[in-house]
Structure 1
């Protein structure tokens, strides 16, 4: 009775921002939607699409038309997922060493995409490469990891799409390892499935929770592009932005006081596309902060 009254009040205050929620999902991994069990009121973004899951209770909801849209560098979450699935790491373990090739060095000087500074012949371990992939969002590092893992980016992309199919991501198509290609498209619901799976990996969780890391050598220190770390309980995620994609963010937040254990996971896509990447990214940050604050305060188990 109390929950019903609170939900009704929130729905009124938020002007109808509400979607049917789902229960019974695996709190750590992908699951098909279950039957509707109630309504979760959150301040959903006015445009684009968003999905949120409370892994403590199994409730989840989404907003916007779930049609495939460009996801920019959120793509790198799947890149990391495939690498960690095929080359698992334990917390604190550096992993195998990879030698930087000339192509990765040449791409590091690009002015048209996000990169991480590297030099041919530089030797970096897998953990360092994951940090360079996920913190500064190095497109050249994404492609380097793809070549290291599968021999070519094309072969690696095949693995990415196979992994997406295995996770039930039926509206997702990967065409590159970095997200630079606007032909890589997905939905917030599909990316939420990936978030459930990848956040089970302690190494991934640790990397995306890192504010900055000193790599050394030509790379120096790399900083996390996720400016919401530490705000509204947010403990990790991955940014993405481009003119076609607008702003995008996969995020994870700790639950509010009085909640059951488990993370609140969310994905925001297609915020102010066809403006500038910076404008879209700010819109994604704003939408995410509102969702995380409301979810932590309003979702009780």
Structure 2
């Protein structure tokens, strides 16, 4: 009898741990020391899962400078993929775009007033060389005016759930640099986002339009090669292989620099099958405009080293895995009174590199207590959260603390025939009578 009690106690404790859904802060020796990133804000994530690996003031609203052009790229690629624009469509250069393109103190390729350029030419100038006149010309092509494009930018930021933000122009320049042509906000306004928001935008770009990496990874290209307007463009992201601070695996995404925003960089790199996105904002720590251009690359390298040296992506659960708690859901009016539950997809988690077998904490939440027959295999009935036991408390880019997947029925349950349903009704009746009699007998004593 004592052995039985012990087994029950152990089982109860095990059930309590498995069902608790508590996510424990890091206390194990596998947790590596985080880097000291000299920036006003920063974040590093694993791209496929959105798992946050490092963050510093990641929700602080700050200037983003030319990292703005990642939003231009997203909207442009969206219009290309939807058929609203084609790469060989012509763009006529307005006086506004022309005036900005002639400012050699800004990043630019020279554009001719009234001349036509293809969408492809201007896109590459914007993505590779951060050409501001090209960005304005594309904004006018897509929306009719920069002001209307800014409205599109703010709406897209809401749609993508990028968090707190403010867009006032298509370039990321201070409005004071726009030759009196600013369309939105005050004369000295600048675009603002958070490091988390920039990481979200980067993830959306890579997930929705992976072709962005083919352009963002181009180190050098000649604009309008073979013409009198030819200009050599070198990518400002000097972390790209072959450039000054070249690092293997880096293939994007966008730099940014203004006095207000400081040295900024949203970078991405892939190594050993894992892709990481990093964001640094005001990498010089807020000391003026910062003439140490290496700062954003140095601080980005710290986060990339930390991510790739200490973490890996592991398959921890396969699609179709039986759910243990609860293992089934009740079924009424069926040939069976319950049906088993399984997971709907594979689960991957970011784990310390030392991990050989991940210990998981799971929690299942069902949408309802029971189903009514007939029930088809694959019916979605709830969700399950999956987290690494003794994992960190940084959570995911969207604020979750665990990976969430759907749970579905493992098989079919046919509806019982009329005779069986009748017998069930009779059984229910006698159970009810039995309960009534027992209650009546109890009342005698």
Q: TM-score range by the shorter chain?
A: 0.7 to 0.9
Counterpart of 1:206 in structure 2 is: 214
Alignment of 1:105-124 (within 5 A): 105-124=98-117
CA distance in 2, matches of 1:283, 1:85: 33
CA distance in 2, matches of 1:151, 1:94: 18
Bigger relative CO (Cα 8 Å, ≥ 6 apart)? 1
Q: Deviations over 1:3-38 (max 9, x none)?
A: 986633x22xxxxx3xxxxxxxxxxxxxxxxxxxxx
Counterpart of 1:37 in structure 2 is: none
How many angstroms does 1:267 deviate by? 1.1
SS in structure 2 opposite 1:278? coil
Q: Deviations over 1:225-272 (max 9, x none)?
A: 1100020521111000111111110111002x3xxx442111111222
Judged with a 3 Å threshold, the aligned counterparts in structure 2 of structure 1 residues 129 and 105 are, in CA distance, closer, same or farther, namely: same
How many residue pairs get aligned? The number is 261
CA distance in 2, matches of 1:120, 1:48: 40
Judged with a 3 Å threshold, the aligned counterparts in structure 2 of structure 1 residues 75 and 94 are, in CA distance, closer, same or farther, namely: same
SS in structure 1 opposite 2:81? coil
Counterpart of 1:26 in structure 2 is: none
Q: Which of 182, 192, 201 is the aligned partner of 1:194?
A: 201
The question of 1:283 aligning with 2:295 is answered: yes
Counterpart of 2:442 in structure 1 is: none
CA contact (8 A) 1:47 1:271 kept: yes
Counterpart of 2:265 in structure 1 is: 249
The question of 1:47 aligning with 2:47 is answered: no
How many angstroms does 1:96 deviate by? 1.6
CA contact (8 A) 2:44 2:54 kept: yes
Q: Which of 93, 101, 107 is the aligned partner of 1:100?
A: 93
Judged with a 3 Å threshold, the aligned counterparts in structure 2 of structure 1 residues 149 and 232 are, in CA distance, closer, same or farther, namely: same
CA distance in 2, matches of 1:163, 1:155: 12
SS in structure 2 opposite 1:88? helix
Larger Rg belongs to: 2
Q: Deviations over 1:76-121 (max 9, x none)?
A: 100111111123389xx83322222333222222144222222124
Judged with a 3 Å threshold, the aligned counterparts in structure 2 of structure 1 residues 51 and 115 are, in CA distance, closer, same or farther, namely: same
How many angstroms does 1:159 deviate by? 0.3
CA distance in 2, matches of 1:249, 1:85: 23
CA contact (8 A) 1:118 1:219 kept: no
CA contact (8 A) 1:268 1:284 kept: yes
Counterpart of 2:137 in structure 1 is: 144
Judged with a 3 Å threshold, the aligned counterparts in structure 2 of structure 1 residues 227 and 267 are, in CA distance, closer, same or farther, namely: same
Select between 218-227 and 167-176 the one with higher mean Cα deviation. 218-227
SS in structure 1 opposite 2:233? strand
CA contact (8 A) 1:188 1:269 kept: yes
Judged with a 3 Å threshold, the aligned counterparts in structure 2 of structure 1 residues 56 and 161 are, in CA distance, closer, same or farther, namely: closer
Q: Deviations over 1:134-190 (max 9, x none)?
A: 211111111111111111100000000001001111211111100002531111100
Structure 1 stretches lacking a partner, 5+ long: 12-16, 18-42
SS in structure 1 opposite 2:129? coil
Counterpart of 1:81 in structure 2 is: 74
How many angstroms does 1:58 deviate by? 4.2
CA contact (8 A) 1:242 1:277 kept: no
Question: What is the alpha-carbon root mean square deviation over aligned residues?
Answer: 2.3
The question of 1:185 aligning with 2:170 is answered: no
CA contact (8 A) 2:222 2:233 kept: yes
Q: Normalising to structure 1: TM-score of the pair?
A: 0.79
